[in-house]
Amino acid sequence: MRRLVVRCPICHTQKNEIVDDELLRLRKTIERGIVIIKISKGRVCEHPIYLEIDRNFSIRDTYSQERLSNLPKEQYPHILELKAY
Ligand SMILES: [Zn+2]
């Protein structure tokens, strides 16, 4: 079981998110490289949160919507949305 601690970059709300099953479902895409996973608003706090995940399923960085939109597109070719439980 993989537990990721998600921390909102805007309001700093922190929550343990167990996303093992969801990540495994996305494994094929993740194994191609760095991916951005969207945590929908309402799940941790009222902000959508974007996690940069590497091949080892570790969080490399966390982005707000605004910061993500300032990145060049080629830096985040895959944006995956986690479905709610
Ligand atoms: Zn927040």
Query: Can you give the chain as a three-state secondary structure string?
Result: CCEEEEECCCCCCEEEEECHHHHHHCHHHHCCCCEEEEECCCCCCCCCEEEEECCCCCEEEEECHHHHHCCCHHHCCCEEECCCC
What value does the mean pLDDT of the chain take?
82
Ligand 1 center–CA 19 separation, angstroms: 19
Contact 36, 26 (CB under 8 A): no
pTM: 0.80
The count of other CB atoms within 10 Å of the CB of residue 20 is: 13
- Expressed as residue numbers, the domain containing 44 is 3-81
Number of domains the chain is built from:
1
Ligand 1 center–CA 44 separation, angstroms: 7
Ligand 1 center–CA 8 separation, angstroms: 5
pLDDT score, position 78: 66
Look at residue 10 and tell me whether its pLDDT is greater than 90. Answer: yes
Ligand 1 center–CA 51 separation, angstroms: 13
pLDDT score, position 76: 64
Q: Which residues have CB atoms below 5 A from the ion given as ligand 1?
A: 8, 10-11, 45, 47
